[in-house]
Structure 1
Amino acid sequence: MFAEFFVRALVAGLGVALVSGPLGCFVIWRRMAYFGETMAHASLLGVSLGLLLDLPLPPTVFATAVLVALALLGLERLGGLSTDALLGILSHASLALGLVAAALVPNLRVDLMSFLFGDILAVTWFDVAVVFGGGLGALGVLALFWRQLLASTVSPEIASAEGMKPGIARLILVVLVAAVVAVSIKIVGVLLITAMLVIPAATARRVSPSPEVMAVASSLCGMAAVVAGLFASLNFDLPPGPAIVAAALLVFLASLAVPRRLIMGSR
């Protein structure tokens, strides 16, 4: 059958797609695509700090991403700058600081390119356990707060009137996105994780009659992209991370062929 490394890569990729699908829906609904990129750059900073300070990478990456997310929320409260301007500042600052920190690591023996573009074929069963442990935990929190997150996304004013707290919902969401980025960085890389959050969700949005269906469809689209991308990588000697994202793009383009009247008719 298939080599063990390929099986590990397939299982890990499916785990990333499973959890990034529903969260990607909120990224699409809240127009937070640039936030996902900011979290990815913050993750690279976390990798560099972990290497520099000799700390375990997954918790260091998660903590760094969460701190950057909290910095964004704090700066938004101060006012004066739009959210996209703040995201631009934090995104590029995180990337620059990450590269500076990496340059300070003595005798760096880690290939940072693997963190930029992912190295899914090199994942271990421990990496798979981290992906599924963190991913299932994130999905559990998402399911627990689904109604509150959805209501706050549709209308923060109505959610507040019903006794919900949109600010808390936003905090939960940014922490969940940070967690998913942290556990996914070794699989698809810093530069591609945003694509895995956005493209499957954008595909599912075109063909889904309800938010719940869209969340499931987004995961399925991501899983299809993982399977197609990995087999394309195996058969045509392509880099697996970019191949997965390219497959996700093809699935999205295929969804454009679905007649609009069929989509509207299902709603």
Structure 2
Amino acid sequence: MAPITKQRKQCSQCWVHTRTEWSVLSKTGVAKIDATRRSVQYRPGESIFHQHEQPHGIYCLESGHLLLRHFDSFGEQTNFQVVKYGETLGWRSFFAERPHAATAIALSRCDVCFVPGSVINECIAREPALARAFLKTIALDRGPSEALMLRSPRLPVRVRFIYLLLYLRSRCANHTRRGMLVYDLPLQRRDIASMIGIRNETLSRVIRELQREKLARFEGRQIMVPDPEKLFGVIGVKLPEEDL
């Protein structure tokens, strides 16, 4: 089944607008985006763009989660980034004028807006604030370097998995009033294993270890961390007090 083209609403009225780079645009700039963008709903497993395709613009995720997956020359896949609602994607390839280095796949039902490159270039030429907003995004994004750390064979598997939970904390986890950290993962276990470069059986062993030590509890795709400070203390990370 093909992705569903949605009825468009104004960009400025989108609930994630203030989280995106487009929020720095003037009313005229936003109107230009509104007049040309395309809004599409994707089902789980459908691709937004494919590796090696030429970029023709930038995508903005209104709802859901996406997974960036890279395929090497032998056909082996590496999952290296989860994109959440309110984030843009495809900008690295667009600004570099190079083919996409990964395939973007919907992990859940996703609403995605596509902004054509010609409009982006026009807005940047008229409003330099948009260029500065994307420069900030580029500077803060660790990109493939984060994936390399998560898959580093120099790090014990247990450490890699806890680093992955730290990375996913801002994307699919919430703190309860009792201080517990609860994850609702959009990822299947095989995707998690791929992100840290291990086999499914190895991941299952690590999960059993963490449960036995009462550092985390696993129920399907939900993970409950009763003491986040203790869990992330294993890898030497101290969370800000406001996050505890």
- Specify the TM-score bucket, using the shorter chain as the normaliser: under 0.3
The one of the two structures with greater contact order (alpha-carbon pairs below 8 A, sep at least 6) is 1
The structure whose residues are more often helix, as a share, is: 1
Q: TM-score, normalised by structure 2?
A: 0.24
